Amino acid sequence: MKNVLILFMSILIFPFSGFTQVLIDIEEITPFHEEVAAIRKGNKWAFINTNGEIIIDYRDDLVWHSNPEATTKKKSQKQFIPYPSFSEGLCMIKQMKNGVYYYGYIDKRGKTSILPEFLNATSFNKGYAIVLKVSKEELGRNHLLHKKVVSYSYDEVIIDSSGTVKIHLTAPKNFTLTKNKLKWPPAIESHFIAPNLVAVKNKNNSWNLQNVDTSSN
């Protein structure tokens, strides 16, 4: 009788022992990728593991597109991203600086692995991603306005999982770095068609096939 009483009291004190956390009011649950899935509340996403435990808390800087029709109409967007996901251990994030979004990556701990410094980016595939890297050149100084005169450009480059630039794919393109001129990120035209072969769009609106050896850099 004493043992039964102890068991009964244990159930009263620890009624949910052995049960995992209960996640409520989730608006969207995605399929699992690399053993993690994204869950959404409003415009914020979190990541859970296969036990239903949150491993990355809700945040609003993960890259996704809420409207597929509007996304495909924007010339800057070539790929609709319906929800955040990990690819080779990295997930894209974005950060606004002076009204312009820059893109980077986090790891499965939610730590920034590659700083948001690119105008656009792709998911990683076989160890590499294609991004738009920004360059800044000082041309001189405007003495009337008492400020530097600078020129901005970007080019498409291949980076590895540490963020190191391996290969430049295109010549630099000049652009105006203001939020009015960059309402949407410039498009990434190049794409891998094989592990060491990239299709690069040229100025004639046709394609060049570039054999790349990322291991040599």
Q: How many CB atoms lie within 10 A of CB 208?
A: 13
- Write down the pLDDT at residue 67: 61
pLDDT band at 10 (very low <50, low <70, confident <90, very high): very low
Give the model confidence (pLDDT) of 33-49 as tens digits: 999 999 999 999 999 99
Could you tell me if residue 74 is inside a domain?
A: yes
DSSP secondary structure, 85-115, as one string: --BTTBEEEEEEETTEEEEEEE-TTS-EEEE
Could you tell me if residue 149 is inside a domain?
A: yes
Amino acid sitting at position 125: N
Could you tell me if residue 6 is inside a domain?
A: no
Burial class (CB in 10 A: 0-12, 13-18, 19+), 102: buried
Could you tell me if residue 12 is inside a domain?
A: no
Could you tell me if residue 57 is inside a domain?
A: yes
Range of the domain at 163: 45-216
Give the model confidence (pLDDT) of 30-88 as tens digits: 999 999 999 999 999 999 999 999 999 999 999 998 765 544 445 555 567 899 999 99
Could you tell me if residue 27 is inside a domain?
A: no
Close Cβ partners of 160 (under 8 Å, ≥ 6 residues apart): 127, 128, 166, 214
**Domains in the chain, number:** 1
Could you tell me if residue 10 is inside a domain?
A: no
Could you tell me if residue 99 is inside a domain?
A: yes
